[in-house]
Amino acid sequence: MQFPEKNFPRWPIVIIDLVIAAISLVFAYLIRFDLHADREIIIEEWKILSKSIAVYFLIKLTVYLYLKIHKHVLRHTTMIDVRSLFFNSLFASILFLIFGFIRYHFFDGYFLFPTTVLVLEFILSFILTAAFRFVIKFLYVESTKIKGEKKRVLIYGAGISGLVTKRTIEKDTLSDYKVIGFIDDNKKLSGNILEGIKIFHTSKLEQLIDTEKIAIVILAIQNPDIENRQKVVDLCFNKNIELHKVPSPKSWINGEFSTKQIKAIKIEDLLGRASIQLDVNKIKNELSEKIVLVTGAAGSIGSGMVQQILKFNPQKVILLDNAESAMYDFVNDLRSAASNLPIEVVIGDVRHYDRMKRLFEAFKPSYILHAAAYKHVPLMEDNPSEAILTNVKGTKNLVDLAIEYGAEKFVMISTDKAVNPTNVMGASKRIAEIYAQNKNKLGKTKFITTRFGNVLGSNGSVIPLFKKQIEQGGPITVTDERITRFFMTIPEACQLVLQASTIGNGGDIFVFDMGKSVKIIDLAKKMIKLSGLEEGKDIEIKITGLRPGEKLYEELLNDSEKTLPTQHPKILKAKVQETGENELKLIAELIDLFESQENIKIVAKMKEIVPEYISNNSIYEQLDKH
């Protein structure tokens, strides 16, 4: 049966509803007389009913038209329509009671219908009109479903999100999914039936994939146990099963979920960890009504910081960056999401002391989050003078001005590459840390440093690079099969920075729990699979060799450092070696060397300041041989 594209005309629906009403009335009488009655009883009842049958149909028709029941689209009947039908039948029955009362007291002493008939008619009329609509809906859905073989689907999560996913798939007539079952970590749910679909424990996944020919697993748990989810993901990868994900309810369109929103899972989803629990009140107390300066505000971390800070009612947030286009795009995005934001955009460079002094004089920020830096290892290895100018002198400018203008806190964003640095970039960040730590006791400003590893999806990180290489058909380039890195999401990193800023008392270096390190080559293989491609057949992985200054394994702590727990389980405090006036003198000499543009002299001075800086795979290894 093929349904027309246009909806049915309204008048046949009204006629069918009236016929259903008549059938309901007849059956109500039949039930009242136990499905049989003498001829005399029928004649006598008809004499009473004949005088009210016209009123019955008139009331039914009036109520239908008044409540617009006939205007509801039958093929898309929902529980909202069922509720309307219930009130329609109830309203009609109330009118029957009223008119029956009038007839009894003012006319012939009879009610319109016996009480039992009235009750039965109400029940039957409601059930039959609802059933009629669901039959039409069922026929429509079946007639419009995609014919042929469908992709067999398991939904991971038998909670609300999983149930909504199942309903959405079944409702979408153009979907080529067929839900075979739910899997869930909760053993108590195993064996239960949810809307006709059986729930299995997660441990049965491999068996289900083999026996039920599963093609897709949809992750529908919003806050899953990370270890269990990882087992599901790894098994699906090994079995070449497609992994899809249901987005957070916050991103559902107008509060409703569509199958179009079921997307293939991204590599960021696989590397993310359990959500961070923040002390929101403490952060709000720190930032509320404060003037906050964010340097590098158009970058990955800086922009993430701004978005987080705006949630805590700051008086003003100053967005500082020298990247005009990136800042323009970011500010447009911010203002399109919310108007009247307390932001001030400043285009400027942290390396220019006079420009920074004017900024501090104009706004007098009390809270500074310093994210501006050069971060690309190979580029800085070739340009150490620029690394010094931005990462060291730029930081020095801001530190000195923060003290001069009495800022409350200065939070520096550092990197795991500052630990036992093997490259210019990491060493320049370590020197910036040393300067900030040394200046901590000179004024009321508390200087705090935070270290973490690679940020997923940040500008220039490995994931966007791999995505681009896959789009171009490969090869994916990996510098070494053994190389590993720590990863953290942008929101996670920004949230931990804010939390660390509330813990620090000044002079602290905080390191974040980065979880387990990830082999970059495994990351590349997973991204190939997520793209629906096959390694070696569709796309190659090419080993290119370590780049200058690159090391196989990143570290978060120096060998001579120890960690202490803090109030937050994901934040540790590093106990670092003390530095003093000698380091400050050497840093001043290092900055003066910028004018010379002699890379060897600059790097030699860096090694003098940071003795643990040992170059790796770099022309500067010659400086370590003596």
The catalytic site residues sit at 417
Distance from C-alpha of 363 to C-alpha of 342, rounded to nearest angstrom: 13
Residue 584: alpha-carbon gap to chain centroid = 44
Q: Quote the tokens at residue 434.
A: 């040393």
Asked whether the beta carbons of 292 and 342 are under 8 A apart, the reply is no
For 307, the 3-state DSSP assignment is helix
Distance of CA 459 to the CA centre of its chain: 19
Query: Residue 143 is encoded by which pair of tokens?
Result: 């007639």
Q: CA–CA distance from 572 to each of 455, 503, 514 (Å)?
A: 18, 10, 11
Cα distances (angstroms) measured from residue 205 to each of 163, 170, 438: 18, 22, 56
Quickly list DSSP for 468-493.
HHHHTT-PEEES-TT-EE-EE-HHHH
Kindly state the tokens that stand for 541.
């992985």
Using the CB atoms, write b or e for 400-429: b if 16+ within 10 Å: bbbbebebebbbbbbbbbbbbbbbbbbbbb
Burial class, 180, CB count within 10 angstroms (exposed 0-12 / middle 13-18 / buried 19+):
buried
Residue keyed to tokens 């405090």: 573
HEC string for 197-245? EEEEEHHHHHHHHHHCCCCEEEECCCCCCHHHHHHHHHHHHHCCCEEEE
Q: What is the number of alpha carbons within 13 Å of residue 350 lying toward its C-beta?
A: 32
| DSSP three-state, residue 14 | helix
Asked if 574 contacts 416 with a C-beta cutoff of 8 angstroms, the reply is: no
| Residue 286, CA distances (Å) to 307, 310, 360, 445 in order | 16, 13, 20, 14
- Residue 171, CB-side half-sphere exposure with 13 Å CA sphere: 15
CB 244 within 8 A of CB 263: yes
Give the whole-angstrom CA distance, residue 197 versus residue 399. 62
> Whose CA is closest to 201, among 152, 156, 151?
156
Decide: 175 and 244 in contact? Cβ < 8 Å.
Answer: no
Burial degree of 376 (CB within 10 A; 0-12, 13-18, 19+): middle
* 176 contact partners, CB below 8 Å, separation of at least 6: 146, 150, 151
The three-state secondary structure class of 378 is helix
